[in-house]
Structure 1
Amino acid sequence: MEFNFLAILVAAIAPILIGFLWYNPKTFGNSWMREAEMTPDKMKSGNMAVIFVLTLLLSFVLAFFLQQLTTHQMGAYSLAQGELGETANYKAFMEEYKNEFRTFKHGALHGILAGVFLFFPVIAINGMFERKSWKYIFINSGYWIVSLAVMGAIVCGWI
């Protein structure tokens, strides 16, 4: 499987850009701050440079593995017999199906599925134990569903 590191990097930037919009006071920012019990002073207490660098790094890791989730050709590796990429069956499969389901729409679909069936349950479980409101859970889950849809579209469709 070939990795498109430029697409992965662009996808890693997407959650940061979406976050600026999603958590803006004109969208969900004020509601999120209230539900998260976040204050302006608490917001200022963090080292934003470190937070954004680590966010970019972790988003890169997420985008890297999201590419494998959205690209079905990864399954061909598990079907290959012997050394990966060395069998005639594997090479024939990749020649015929290399770009099947490699679209922005397909990647967005898998990003949404990952958001709904992987991220939402984790955020909801944590939120319930932290005694956060469902509004808080839906704001954060919605952000990740949208972010993963955009990230999935980028890493899958950008061949």
Structure 2
Amino acid sequence: MDFINFPAIFAAALTSLLVGFIWYNPKVFGNIWLRESGVTMEDGKKPNMALIFTLVYIYSVFIAFILSGVTIHQAGALGMVGGPMELGHVKPSYNAFMTDYGTTFRSFKHGALHGFMMGLLLILPVVAINSLFEKRSWKYILITGFYWVVTCTIMGGIVCGWTKDGFHFSSQLLP
């Protein structure tokens, strides 16, 4: 079973752009964010937006890659035997474990749960810490931080739920 699903990672990375287009739309949080960040619409036209969107996508690939390791628990079992290069030398118990539990917790819903936790408990505090030192307002912190909570939730769901067999949805968080 492959745990690094690059198509899922590349697709999940698009989430940051898609959520951002909605989240920072003037009809959602865009006007508030502009006011709180001190950025104007004219400022947004000055930089090379193609470069910015490209870099956002590349950095989002990094985030999706890490989220795949956090959301797919079977990757931990693979790491315990020394990684993919050692699969030819594993004990029969590893193969039995993977037969029994190889797809456990592999659903969009489970990945979304872990993505939510990473966004809320890791990325939001990082955004808040940086923003506090930059003397940003709480509105700015909440808008920016919860953008990442929503984005990581969706990213986690995509990287965990998208398997070789197709996309897995589950009616429950735990099997």
TM-score between the two structures when normalised by the length of structure 2: 0.86
**Is 1:130 aligned to residue 134 of structure 2?**
yes
State how many pairs are aligned: 159
Match of 2:68 in 1: 67
- Deviation by residue 1:72-123 (Cα, 9 ceiling, x = unmatched): 1111024327963231222221121110000000000000000011001100
Paired AA for residue 42 in structure 2: D
Q: Percent identity?
A: 50
Residue 102 of structure 1 aligns to a residue whose secondary structure is: coil
Match of 2:171 in 1: none
Paired AA for residue 64 in structure 1: F
Paired AA for residue 96 in structure 1: D
Higher mean alpha-carbon deviation, 128-137 vs 73-82, is at 73-82
Residue 124 of structure 1 aligns to a residue whose secondary structure is: helix
Structure 1: which 5+ residue stretches go unaligned?
none
Q: Distance in 1 between matches of 2:53 and 2:40?
A: 19
Match of 1:84 in 2: 86
Q: Distance in 2 between matches of 1:52 and 1:117?
A: 26
Q: Distance in 2 between matches of 1:9 and 1:77?
A: 22
Match of 1:118 in 2: 122
Match of 1:26 in 2: 27
Match of 1:40 in 2: 41
Query: Is contact 1:80–1:89 with CA below 8 Å preserved after alignment?
Result: no
The 1:101–1:55 alpha-carbon spacing in structure 2 relative to 1, beyond 3 Å, is same
Structure 2: which 5+ residue stretches go unaligned?
164-175
Match of 1:109 in 2: 113
Displacement over 2 Å in runs of 4+: 77-86
- Deviation by residue 1:13-61 (Cα, 9 ceiling, x = unmatched): 0110000000000000000000011012211111001011111111111
